[in-house]
Structure 1
Amino acid sequence: MKSKLMLAAAAVAILSAGSALAADEHAAHHAAPAKAGAYAQAIADKNRPAADTALDPERKPAEMLAFAGVKPGQTVVDLIPGGGYFTRIFAKAVGPKGTVYAVGGPPRKSDDPAKPAPTPAQDVIAADPAYANVKSIHVPFAEFAIPTQADLIWTSQNYHDLKNVPNFDIAAFNKAVFAALKPGGEFIVLDHVANPGDPGVTKSVHRIDPAVVKAEVEAAGFKFEGESKVLANPADDHTKAVFDPAIRHHTDQFIYKFRKPK
């Protein structure tokens, strides 16, 4: 009798576990499309410039948002935002309860006093009511800091440029990025792949060896979480400058995810 009761209890436990698993799978099935839908809305934002949307097929923003795990309400840093391609997308993806810090270096000064330098794109975006959750910060990268800790720090096609700043301490910079993240926060580095062995490629062809990035970022205390191959291009032999018309917008790119331990 006792053995029958034990068997019955085990059967109930198995059925309960199966129901729980099915419920989890059902929730995951519905959560993924919901998140994908939110990303699609962010990318479909009518305020995005035509020059940005024209780049979508090659930059694959939906896959980038998914890999980074961007969520509504998060604090995201777009580090060295350039023209603000990802700044605008992040702003819509995190929503009105989230914040995007667009962090660039000091604004460039005009060589001609009669012709003021153009306003940096990150300032233009931050002043646009359509992107009220974007805050622009200009700071020397050696003094990188943000007002509060972030959930995600993202830099796209820029890490190699930091290697070209004279006397720049990349180890100190990565530690500053580490400090600027919440425990469990992520640092995403996307850049052009270089063949290993030549540190000068960061300036000559604007590429970097992914192994160098991984070693430097991990040295700051980050844990490597994985990579995305979405922007990989095996046809790129890594010898051409990224601005070469033969490879422009089609370079082999790596996307690494690092996490600050909790």
Structure 2
Amino acid sequence: MRHLLLAAAAALALSACGQPTSEAPVAPPAAVEVSPDAANIVAAVADARRPAADRDRDASRRPAEMLAFARIEPGDRVADIFPGGGYFTRLFAVAVGDEGRVYPTIRPDGVAGEYETPVLAVAAEYPNAVMARTPYDALAYPEPLDVVFTAQNYHDMALTAYALGDRAAMNASAFAALKPGGLYVVIDHSAVDGSPVATDAETTTHRIDQATVRREVEAAGFVFDGESDVLRNPADARTASVFDPTIRGRTDQFVMRFRKPE
């Protein structure tokens, strides 16, 4: 759940003096930042159920920083779009606690049949992880969400052979799925600035221009709410495929957070 600090002290002081508060502009509420050292995040990263393969990836994926950036708190409702093998699903399930819920999300027919089995296994381990089978461009959940999260997969929506759906519609349905003030977090591999969006699955480097993603997400009504440099790698020229052995696991990645207005 999003906990907000009210920044209206000046207006309240004027009101107490009998002055009309309408003449005193009030700053919008500031969101409480979440620390990577928060107890719920520390517990998520330390969860003994996490497989060794996930732990081995922590140095490059920086899970504590990513959960803190997404402002994951106990009780939150979180959608994990394109959950892959469930790396973030496991983390979210512990970080939101027993009162929270995480929805690992795959389209009704899976993603080329690859991801349904591992995600079902993850969901079976965590009672508060509930599978959501919904088209990516028509996201739908049984309750309003605090966070919609997707890591390293936004670029795949453009690949025509994958037929995953329309990016604009996905962003619009993510907007509709969130509570007012809810957050949409997008992590992906950086392409060269100004690069066109790749559509050919055979030739793609599996990267996307950050500016393109920001423009598309803001077009859905979101407000840009910040970015993190934690996954940046200036040594990555951004031209090789993310699966190239010379850069795999060390790509330059952008991390952006968007907010649905109150």
TM-score where L is the length of structure 1: 0.80
Cα offset, 1:87, TM superposition? 0.2
Q: How many residues align?
A: 226
1:68-116 alpha-carbon deviations (Å, 9 max, x no partner): 1100000011111000000000000000000000001223677xxxxxx
Tell me how far 1:152 sits from its aligned partner: 0.3
C-alpha distance in 2, partners of 1:37/1:80? Answer: 26
> What's the C-alpha RMSD, in Å, of the aligned pairs?
2.3
State the percentage of identical aligned residues. Answer: 48
- In the other structure, the counterpart of 2:94 is 92
Structure 2 distance, partners of 1:46, 1:168, is 36
Structure 1: 4+ residue segments shifted above 6 A: none
* Alpha-carbon shift at residue 201 of structure 1 (Å): 7.1
Aligned position for 1:44: 46
* Map of 1:153 onto structure 2: 148
Greater CA drift, 250-259 or 199-208: 199-208
1:182 maps to 179
Partners of 2:167 and 2:51 in 1: CA distance: 33
Determine if contact 1:201/1:207 at 8 Å carries over to the other structure: no
* Alpha-carbon offset, residue 215 of structure 1: 0.3
- Within a 5 Å distance, the mapping from 1:55-94 to structure 2 comes to 55-94=57-96
Structure-2 separation of matches of 1:216 and 1:237: 24
Question: Does 1:193 find its partner at 2:190?
Answer: yes
SS in 2 for 1:103: strand
User: Aligned-pair distance for 1:32?
Assistant: 4.8
Aligned to 1:258: 258
Report SS of the residue matched to 2:131. Answer: strand
CA distance in 2, matches of 1:246, 1:232: 16
Taking a change above 3 Å as real, the CA distance of residues 140 and 254 of structure 1, as seen in their structure-2 partners, is same
Q: Aligned partners of 2:164, 2:85: CA distance in 1, in Å?
A: 26
Partners of 2:45 and 2:183 lie apart in 1 by 22
**Contiguous gaps of at least 5 residues in structure 2:** 1-31
- Quick one: distance in 2 between partners of 1:185 and 1:156? 17
Question: Is 1:107 aligned with 2:110?
Answer: yes
Distance 1:101 1:260, change over 3 A: same
Equivalent residues of 2:145, 2:182 under 8 A apart: yes
The letter for the 1-side match of 2:169 is: A
Unaligned 5+ residue runs, structure 1?
Answer: 1-27, 111-116
| Secondary structure of 2:184 counterpart | strand
Which letter does structure 2 place at the counterpart of 1:230? V
Q: CA deviation at 1:144?
A: 1.9
**Displacement, 1:36?**
2.5
Distance 1:74 1:118, change over 3 A: closer
TM-score by length of 2: 0.80
Query: Which structure features the higher share of helix residues?
Result: 1
What is the alpha-carbon distance in structure 2 between the residues aligned to residue 60 and residue 93 of structure 1? 15
- Residue matched to 1:205: 205
Q: Distance in 2 between matches of 1:139 and 1:151?
A: 18
CA distance in 1 between partners of 2:242 and 2:112 (Å): 26
Change (3 A) 1:148 1:206: same
Instruction: Give how far 1:45 is off.
Output: 0.3
Distance 1:32 1:143 in 2: 32
* Cα drift, residue 149 of structure 1: 1.0
Q: Secondary structure at 1:211's aligned position in 2?
A: helix
- Tell me the SS of whatever aligns to 1:54: helix
Query: Equivalents in 2 of 1:167, 1:36: separation in Å?
Result: 36
Rg larger in structure: 1
The match for 1:132 is: 127
2:215 matched residue in structure 1: 215
